[in-house]
Amino acid sequence: MMEGLKAVIEALIFASDVPINLDRLADVLEDVDRKDIRDCLRRLVQEYQDESRGFCIVEVAGGYHFRTKHEWSPWIKKLKKGKPASLTPVMMETLAVIAYRQPVLKAEIDKIRGVDAGGAIRRLLEKKMVRIVGRKDVPGKPIIYGTTRRFLEVFSLKDLSELPTLRELKELQE
Amino acid sequence: MDYEIKLDQFQGPLDLLLFLIRKNRIDICDIPIALITEQYLQYLGIIRSLNLDEAGEYLVLAATLLQIKSRMLLPVPEGETEEDEGDPRQELVNKLLEYQVFKEAASALETRPVLERDVFERGFHEEDAQGDPSDDGILIEAGIFDLLEAFREAIEGSGKSESMEIDLEKISLADRINEIMDVLTKCRSLTFVEFLDSSASKRHIIYTFLAILELIKLRMIKAFQNETSGVIRIFLAVDE
């Protein structure tokens, strides 16, 4: 019976366009015990890790998804031919500030980086790495920014807490 | 270490400063201001002669450096010790240290497995948007007055009286903005009218209009108008 459940979960993860979380799985599977779902997930992840497969199940952005393994990336890049537009250093720095300081204002980002971050923010918005969280209730009603689920997905993060803390990063520098 | 300089390698004046500090092997907590200012100004001269766009921000930091330098040259007034004044470099040092941490954070992010670079997901086909029958004819970019006109029509067409009912679902402008972006990501484009469902209240119409204007200002979406029918269609802005 568990084998059947494992197969269903595997199929659901495959079919899902986005990382699928435990809640969603439980929703779909209705009467199944959450503990059983978790057990199956654990076994599935393990199985894919152990075997020399081309892809595995990863936990990212709060859910589970199939992804190719890092070591095969050169082949897949060949398959996909065109290089995807990567993020420039300016965008990466801006993104780092937003990720750690969210919810954050453009003015605050400008101050930390010492340059106007407007262009970078706009491009990050276009790429869906960053979103508008709201507006601050002060004169001018400046926009408040935060990162998106897409950001977590792109950088293979389970959630924001997986980011190294600023203190850890500071220690790395010394 | 090879310090070959390419002028577009700096992500801003602070970045240039960090570069100079590293190059001169300076302790960031004890910066020799005169030396650093001189070198910085040299680079600034090159940047300005190349007429790079961001030269303005470099100028601000140059002024700051000069100001710090002059403060350090001034003798300490009688009766005050140096501690009272505080190190004039301190504010700059704090800024640099903070900036450096975020540079490090950006590097740390890059070392993670990055989607579409190191790891890949199953590709899937995006649904092509169905052609709209009202779309016969060329699309031209919609101007602000066209948008206002569409808005006016929508408001008048709503026919709802100014009811004073309490909205249980008080959505904010930010919510509406995100909603619109989500919808456009799934369907390639939508007409202005389609953004409002049939039960749209005046408030909803106004919020939708404001959200669309905001998104256009941010250049995240574009509005086009059908030359013949005048129907306005909203698309996600794409990189040119």
Residues A27 and A70 both lie in one domain: yes
**Nearest residue in chain B measured CA to CA from A112:** B99
Per-residue pLDDT at B211 = 87
- Chain B positions touching A95 (Cβ under 8 A) are 106, 109
Establish if B196 belongs to a structural domain: yes
The tally of domains found in chain A comes to: 2
Residues A132 and A61 both lie in one domain: no
Establish if A102 belongs to a structural domain: yes
Residues B33 and B97 both lie in one domain: yes
Residues A100 and A153 both lie in one domain: yes
Residues B102 and B139 both lie in one domain: no
Establish if A151 belongs to a structural domain: yes
Residues B168 and B101 both lie in one domain: no
Q: What percent of chain B has pLDDT over 70?
A: 71
Residues A125 and A162 both lie in one domain: yes
B190 — pLDDT class (breaks 50, 70, 90): confident
Pick from A115, A119, A116: nearest CA to A130:
A119
Q: Answer whether B172 sits within 8 Å of A99, measured CB to CB.
A: no
**Residue that finishes a domain, picked among A45, A78, A111:** A78
Establish if A118 belongs to a structural domain: yes
Residues B107 and B137 both lie in one domain: no
Residues A158 and A136 both lie in one domain: yes
d(CA B215, CA B178): 10
Predicted confidence (pLDDT) per residue in B69-97, tens digit: 888 888 766 666 655 667 888 889 999 99
Establish if A83 belongs to a structural domain: no
Residues A14 and A64 both lie in one domain: yes
Residues A121 and A162 both lie in one domain: yes
Residues B62 and B17 both lie in one domain: yes
Establish if A11 belongs to a structural domain: yes
B215 — pLDDT class (breaks 50, 70, 90): confident
Residues A153 and A118 both lie in one domain: yes
B160 — pLDDT class (breaks 50, 70, 90): low
Residues A167 and A111 both lie in one domain: yes
Establish if B126 belongs to a structural domain: no
Predicted confidence (pLDDT) per residue in B33-83, tens digit: 889 999 999 888 877 776 666 677 888 899 999 988 888 888 766 666 655
- Chain B positions touching A73 (Cβ under 8 A) are 117-120
Cα distance from A1 to chain B (closest Cα, Å)? 28
Average pLDDT of adjacent 10-residue blocks, chain A of 174 residues: 85 92 91 90 90 90 93 87 77 96 94 90 90 89 92 94 91 74
Which pair of structure tokens corresponds to residue B94? Answer: 């704090």
Establish if A84 belongs to a structural domain: no
**Residue that finishes a domain, picked among A28, A54, A78:** A78
Per-residue pLDDT at B170 = 60
Establish if B15 belongs to a structural domain: yes
B203 — pLDDT class (breaks 50, 70, 90): confident
Q: What is the ipTM score, two decimals?
A: 0.87
Residues A120 and A164 both lie in one domain: yes
pLDDT at residue B129 is higher than 70: no
Size of interface A-B (CB pairs under 8 A): 124
Residues A38 and A105 both lie in one domain: no
Establish if B78 belongs to a structural domain: yes
Establish if B171 belongs to a structural domain: yes
Establish if B127 belongs to a structural domain: no
Among A53, A115, A145, the residue to mutate for chain B (most B Cβ within 10 A): A115
Establish if B74 belongs to a structural domain: yes
Q: Answer whether A69 sits within 8 Å of B112, measured CB to CB.
A: no
- Chain A positions touching B105 (Cβ under 8 A) are 96, 99-100, 163-164, 166, 169
Predicted confidence (pLDDT) per residue in A111-162, tens digit: 999 888 988 999 898 888 999 988 888 998 899 999 999 999 999 999 999 9
pLDDT at residue B135 is higher than 70: no
Residues B93 and B171 both lie in one domain: no
Kindly state whether B85 is in contact with chain A, defined as any CB-CB distance less than 8 angstroms: no
Residues B100 and B161 both lie in one domain: no
Establish if B124 belongs to a structural domain: no
Q: Answer whether A99 sits within 8 Å of B99, measured CB to CB.
A: no
Residues B173 and B207 both lie in one domain: yes
Kindly state whether B125 is in contact with chain A, defined as any CB-CB distance less than 8 angstroms: no
Residues B144 and B56 both lie in one domain: no
Establish if A59 belongs to a structural domain: yes
Residues B165 and B216 both lie in one domain: yes
Residues B28 and B103 both lie in one domain: yes
Tokens 């892809």, residue? Answer: A55
**Which among B61, B110, B121 has CB closest to A114?**
B61
Domain hosting residue B203, numbered range: 133-236
Pick from A9, A130, A83: nearest CA to B178:
A130
Q: Answer whether B12 sits within 8 Å of A115, measured CB to CB.
A: yes
Establish if A24 belongs to a structural domain: yes
H/E/C letters for each residue in chain B? CCCCCCHHHCCCHHHHHHHHHHHCCCCCCCCCHHHHHHHHHHHHHHHHHCCCCCHHHHHHHHHHHHHHHHHHHCCCCCCCCHHHHCCCCHHHHHHHHHHHHHHHHHHHHHHCCCECCCECCCCCCCCCCCCCHHHCCCEEECCHHHHHHHHHHHHHHHCCCCCCCCCCCCCCHHHHHHHHHHHHHHCCEEECHHHCCCCCCHHHHHHHHHHHHHHHHCCCEEEEEECCCCCEEEEECCCC
Is the CB of residue B229 less than 8 Å from the CB of residue B146?
no
The tally of domains found in chain B comes to: 2
- Chain A positions touching B219 (Cβ under 8 A) are 122
Looking at the DSSP assignment, which residues form a beta bridge with residue A139?
none
Residues A70 and A123 both lie in one domain: no
The identity of residue B127, as a single letter, is E
CA distances, B72 to each of A77, B21, B82, B85, B89 (Å): 55, 18, 10, 10, 8
Q: Answer whether B122 sits within 8 Å of A131, measured CB to CB.
A: no
CATH of the domain at A155: 1.10.10.10
Instruction: With H, G, I as helix, E, B as strand and everything else as coil, classify residue A58.
Output: strand
Q: Answer whether B178 sits within 8 Å of A131, measured CB to CB.
A: yes
Domain hosting residue A104, numbered range: 89-173
Q: Answer whether B219 sits within 8 Å of A65, measured CB to CB.
A: no
